[in-house]
Structure 1
Amino acid sequence: MSASLSLLALSLAGCAHYTPLPLATQAPLAPDLRSLDPSIPSEPLGVEQVVTLALANNPDLRAIRFKRGIATGQTLQAGLLPNPSLSGALLPLLSGAGSVPAWNLGIAQDIKSLVTYRSRRRAAADSEQQVAADIIWQEWQVAGQARQLACDLIMGNRARPSYAGAYTLLVERNTKLEKALAAHSVTLVTVAPDRLALQSARAALDALDQRQLGLKHQLNALLGLTPDAQLPLAEQVDLPPFDMAAIRADLPNLPARRPDLIALRMGYASSDEQVRQAILSQFPDMNLGGSVASDNAKVINGGPNIQIGLPIFDRNQGNIAIARATREQLHADYSARLAATMGTVEAMLSEAEQLSAQLMTARHDLPAARLAAERAQAAFGASNLDERGYVDLVSNRFTKEQEIMTLELALLDRQIAIQTLIGSGLPKADALTAPDAAR
């Protein structure tokens, strides 16, 4: 009796136990950077520091990383051998010539599950690698968003003085014209263009402020901060080196290291194993074992037994067709993603080249616009230029500066998008095992 209790206690000790995991009752958002990470320096953050914070604290990434644990558990389960089944019965004597209760005891093992064992293990391992690659791809996306938002905010902060200067200049001009209009020194026709220019300048400044606030809220959400948390940013954009020629030269190697393509290859490898499993599952259901029995007259019999399913109606034709169709779909998905990847990077490189040329032209014209504005200011101060001409020349300088900043931002957007697509400065997927090597 004590031996049975000890065996039962050991069995229970090896079992998993339930522990509750209550849900949060408040939004897990940090009110400031110190609450997010006490080691953050006090000086303004560069773009790559923001990316590091996003990778460490983004709520969606924290959640999706738990999928790796699920996939690991599935791989562990696929690697476990099926348990044998034990059967037995005790049949007390109810009537007749017998003198003792009858009993029987048997053990059996499912042979068919052993046939597909290796293929199931390989499929589960490929699926785990697919999940790992998907997680790295999501990290690339979050890092790219963090770069984009941080760069847009920095460029917006740099552009605001130009928008505010243009608005202030037109406010001063409009104030004088309104006084002249009240004194009947000018007509409404003369004032109308300046009113429209002032409204346009104010609308542009308001739109910039609205955009900056929206970008701030998006970046705070990406980092796991409350919307009103302050995030000091550096004045200059720091990005990984951008070399178009090197990117084009390395483009053929991109499928070997881009996580989404690796994930698709892993998914295809897992699907290929499922085709193999479906074909192997044509093997008849088979249980192999042995049994021993005693009847009411103490006659004991024992020996092997086998149970085989007859594949008359179901030869797994449907599952084989499903597995093959799924594999074909994943094959087409990979080809489509590969084509889209290469085409997108090439298109963005071409767009970046065009923006670089346009930016070079705009920068070439800027010194002349600034010189004209300086001369206009001097001439206006010496009463050698009317106010209308002075405002036009200074406004032209602001317009040219804003044009350059718009082109710089567009070029940075393309560069960040390309760097996200090729994984420049982002977590590597090199540790993942290629499906062919895993074989």
Structure 2
Amino acid sequence: MKRMVLLALAGLSSCAAYHPAPLLDTAQVAVPLPTAQPLTLAQLVALAMKRDPDLVAARAQAGIAQAELLAAGTPPDPSLSIGFEALLGGPASMSAIAGSLGEDVSLLVTRSADVNAAKAHLLQVNANILWQEWQVAARAAQLGVTLTGEAADLASLHSDDQALTALEQDVQVQTAAGNLTQQDVSATQTALAVLRIALNSEERSQARDEAQLDALLALPSGTPVALTPPDVAQIPPERQQQALATLPRRRPDLLALRYGYTEADEKLRAVIRSQFLPISLGAQGGRDTSGVVSAGPQVALSLPLFNRNRPAIQTAEATRAALRAQYAASLADARNGAEALEQSISLLQRQATQADQAAAQAASIAEDARHTFAAGGLDARMETDLITAAGDREREVIQLHTQLQTANLSLAVLLGLD
């Protein structure tokens, strides 16, 4: 008995201790970017995956799943019971002592299923973290493409603003000299006002997207991030078809659902085996007040007569069936989304080609019109319309190419490509 007490005390001496970890009341100081040079799309994505605060928090979830895996394979500690009854009177000659040592062996029945379920859960958590990393990478790349397009849009708008401002000043001089009418002034001023409304709107969009990129990179809002023009490659049709065929084995969110289904299946095995649980084995013994010493084994288990763990089994079966249906729906959504995006990319490519031709033609006409207007062969209203039309065509090209690059990035994510 004394040895049992010593073993119990030795076990207590190796227990874990509490260490406080207080929360910070102030945000951490943002670490500046490692370079001031313009970032490529790949560099931008790498920085976002490293610095995004939400990803840093998500990666901590893997530690919880690893602890659950440890718990699934670790048996519970044995239980020790010791009793002492002092002799206060009567014919007996000594005090009574009793003790028991028991171990819950339920884990041996469900251990393999529990460990497999915990492993699948850990894989599911890691796959979900990987999918979140993919989402952050895609968001960073899309912001890079969008901001580059917005910068090109603003450059085009500023160019038109300068051209229309110079035209408006020239029209004012010509009107004062009696060569043009007030209608010419009105047409130029109206076009200039509409252009500046578009310019202000584009500046607000750029500021909003810059703030989102700063947040993604854990930078203070308003921190400029220089970007190089993005180069987003087209995904060949044959690679698209191959990627669709192997989608369930590569896309992290689908892998996470598969691991979740495996976890639910193993948990169903465990609850079926748990119909006789808990089961404990041990030994008990002692000495009564008359000096009789006794000892023997002890077994305790549940008899599956009424409950038979049926509520837990039914819940586990329903959970597995729900996850099976969710996986089928997610797989269908992924394939349908990828196929719809492929069609959208084909349409954008055709529209971008047509827009390129129209923009080149409009720019050529506008350039010729400038010389004609300077020579007096064109009125101010026509010159205004041609400047505006050329600028609109140029910005249409920019927007279509931005949409095409963004669509290709989205398709890469949907197809589970790098």
Which has the larger displacement, 324-333 or 110-119?
110-119
The correspondence for 1:304, drawn from 297, 302, 308, is: 297
SS in 2 for 1:288: strand
The answer on whether the counterparts of 2:72 and 2:115 sit within 8 Å (CA) in structure 1 is yes
The answer on whether the counterparts of 1:169 and 1:391 sit within 8 Å (CA) in structure 2 is no
The correspondence for 1:172, drawn from 160, 166, 176, is: 166
Match of 1:350 in 2: 343
Match of 2:14 in 1: 14
Structure 1 position 182, deviation (Å): 7.7
Q: How many residues align?
A: 417
Counterpart of 2:310, as a letter, is Q
The correspondence for 1:75, drawn from 69, 72, 75, is: 69
- Determine the C-alpha separation between the residues in 1 that align with 2:95 and 2:15: 35
- Determine the C-alpha separation between the residues in 2 that align with 1:383 and 1:181: 13
Name the TM-score, length of structure 2 as normaliser: 0.92
Structure 1 position 131, deviation (Å): 0.4
Deviations 1:348-370 (A, max 9, x none): 11100100001011112233222
The residue correspondences of 1:39-188 to structure 2 (distance < 5 A) are 40-177=34-171
The residue correspondences of 1:378-417 to structure 2 (distance < 5 A) are 378-417=371-410
Structure 1 position 306, deviation (Å): 2.2
Which has the larger displacement, 88-97 or 179-188?
179-188
- Determine the C-alpha separation between the residues in 2 that align with 1:82 and 1:371: 82
Counterpart of 1:407, as a letter, is L
- Percent identity over the alignment is 34
CA RMSD of aligned residues (A): 2.5
- Determine the C-alpha separation between the residues in 1 that align with 2:310 and 2:9: 46
The answer on whether the counterparts of 2:247 and 2:416 sit within 8 Å (CA) in structure 1 is no
The correspondence for 1:251, drawn from 244, 249, 256, is: 244
- Determine the C-alpha separation between the residues in 1 that align with 2:341 and 2:281: 62
Counterpart of 1:289, as a letter, is G
Match of 2:267 in 1: 274
Structure 1 position 12, deviation (Å): 5.1
- Determine the C-alpha separation between the residues in 1 that align with 2:276 and 2:8: 37
The answer on whether the counterparts of 1:240 and 1:424 sit within 8 Å (CA) in structure 2 is no
Which has the larger displacement, 384-393 or 155-164?
384-393
- Determine the C-alpha separation between the residues in 1 that align with 2:80 and 2:369: 100
Name the TM-score, length of structure 1 as normaliser: 0.88
Note if 1:225 corresponds to 2:188.
Answer: no
Gaps of 5+ in 2: none
- Determine the C-alpha separation between the residues in 1 that align with 2:175 and 2:51: 58
Structure 1 position 309, deviation (Å): 2.7
Structure 1 position 43, deviation (Å): 1.8
Structure 1 position 331, deviation (Å): 0.8
Counterpart of 2:217, as a letter, is L
SS in 2 for 1:94: coil
Match of 2:319 in 1: 326
The answer on whether the counterparts of 2:79 and 2:103 sit within 8 Å (CA) in structure 1 is yes
SS in 1 for 2:246: helix
| Cα pair distance change 1:305/1:7, threshold 3 Å | closer
The answer on whether the counterparts of 2:171 and 2:380 sit within 8 Å (CA) in structure 1 is no
SS in 2 for 1:320: helix
Gaps of 5+ in 1: 34-39, 426-439
| Cα pair distance change 1:168/1:132, threshold 3 Å | same
The answer on whether the counterparts of 1:104 and 1:294 sit within 8 Å (CA) in structure 2 is yes
Which has the larger displacement, 173-182 or 3-12?
3-12
